[in-house]
Amino acid sequence: MDSLFILTILIVFFALAFDFINGFHDTANAIATSVSTKALKPRHAIILAATMNFVGAITFTGVAKTITKDIVDPFAIQNGSVVILAALLSAIAWNLITWYYGIPSSSSHALIGSIAGAAISAAGFGILNYNGFLKILEALILSPFIALAVGFLMMSLFKVLFRNSGLYKTNKGFRTFQIFTAALQSFTHGTNDAQKAMGIITMALIAGEFTTSTDIPLWVRFAAATAMGIGTSIGGWKIIKTVGGKIMKIRPINGAAADLSSALIIFGATFIHLPVSTTHVISSAIMGVGSAQRVKGVKWGVARKIVLTWVITLPISAILAGVFYQILNLFL
């Protein structure tokens, strides 16, 4: 059997594994607030998130095309299949490490940093598509700050609108409303995060000369959506614990404000075909909501730990991918 075909099969397998891991790693963020406020039982939240992630994943392809062509030119890179495999192994390794320690790091940063690092290791810095790469970096950097601001404004608006409502009545109403916001959050997560694996698989198909188009094949969309849905069903309780309770004490009104804020940012990014970190956006929205409620109520020590992980993820994953490429290149 042709070695390039086998390598492509391996890449498809690891890309779907990345989406599976992304499912229980990042999707935990999407349902963390609704679980922590007891708006949804964990099992019901997971079923809802898995379903809505699948629906979101098969609905859009713009982010997948951005991943396929805007970091590096998939038609220009030499030894592209090995580069892609190294990137996937690096991103998976970092996701598993941060999941094990319960740190809500960014799968997006890990994957994008890994693609860039493996490509640079193979062909030098000139291989990067700097216009596209910088556009992606801008989205990754700016989106948490926008989410922080939107979360602050959303919670401030809720405080004005419901200032005369009793605490019990408000919490009861928003606990029900959180079922909708959890579904919306999971849907928007699927529209953005699942597409990253679709882009990787399409890059592999181009590198293996199985396609000459950056369009995302239908089978790739369904496979990636299914992998993320199954991963979601496994759950990510360590991440839920950190996002849902360690940043701040979340009440239903806080959770609804954070969910709506982050869903708006994520879907806005999907609409303009840019990948963002759902982890960054959701965590930042919670910090913004907490700041509007009471600045001292936010556990900024935990927030600093999360931010530090955000900062180091891209360079560490890039270096890790470069190392993986050099090792794989000795054997493949």
Q: Return the pLDDT at 241.
A: 52
Mean of pLDDT values over 105-119: 90
Question: What residues make up the domain containing 119?
Answer: 3-331
The pTM of the full predicted model, rounded to 2 decimals, is: 0.86
The pLDDT confidence band at residue 28, using thresholds 50, 70 and 90, is low
- Whether pLDDT at 244 is above 50: no
- In this structure, are residues 259 and 122 in contact, taking their beta carbons and an 8 Å threshold? no
Angle between helices 62-69 and 194-207 (to 10 degrees): 40
Q: What pLDDT shows up at residue 49?
A: 83
H or E stretch covering 144? helix 130-161
Residue 237 has pLDDT above 70, yes or no: no
Percent of the chain with pLDDT over 70: 89
Q: Mean pLDDT across the stretch 64-73?
A: 92
Please choose, from the candidates 186, 208, 200, the residue with its C-alpha nearest in 3D space to the C-alpha of residue 59: 186
Q: Report the alpha-carbon distance of residue 31 to residue 22 in Å, rounded.
A: 14
Number of domains in the chain: 1
Range name among 29-33, 77-81, 122-126 with the lowest pLDDT average: 29-33
Confidence of residue 268 (pLDDT cuts 50, 70, 90): very high
Structure tokens at 78: 């030499």
Helix, strand, coil % (nearest 5) of the chain?
A: 80, 0, 20
Residue whose entry in the numeric block shows the structure tokens 């989106």: 143
CA end-to-end distance (rounded Å), the chain: 15
Report the distance separating Cα 225 and Cα 53, nearest Å: 7
Q: What φ, ψ does residue 128 adopt, rounded to 5°?
A: -70, 140
**Residue 132 pLDDT greater than 60, yes or no:** yes
C-alpha distances in Å from residue 79, one per residue of 1, 39, 196, 211, 327 = 18, 50, 21, 16, 13
Burial of 62 (0-12, 13-18, 19+ CB in 10 A): middle
Tell me the pLDDT band of 1, cut-offs 50, 70 and 90: low
More confident residue, 198 or 300: 198
Mean pLDDT of 43-70: 88
- The band of 27, judged by pLDDT with boundaries at 50, 70 and 90, is low
Q: Which residue has the tokens 């701040």?
A: 248
What pLDDT shows up at residue 39? 80
* Spatial contact of 34 and 179, defined as CB atoms under 8 Å apart: yes
Residue 114 in this model has a pLDDT that exceeds 50: yes
Question: Looking at residue 47, what is its pLDDT?
Answer: 83
Q: How confident is the model at residue 100 (pLDDT cuts 50, 70, 90)?
A: confident
Q: Per-residue pLDDT tens for 139-198?
A: 988 998 999 999 999 999 998 988 887 766 787 888 889 889 889 988 998 899 888 899
Checking if the pLDDT of 75 tops 90, the result is no
34-48, 83-97, 115-129, 234-248 — which is least confidently predicted? 234-248
Which of 36-40, 156-160, 280-284 has the highest average model confidence (pLDDT)?
A: 156-160
Please give the mean pLDDT across all residues of the chain. Answer: 85
What pLDDT was estimated at residue 44?
82
pLDDT tens for each residue of 86-95 = 999 999 999 8
Kindly indicate the confidence band of residue 245, based on its pLDDT and cuts at 50, 70 and 90: very low
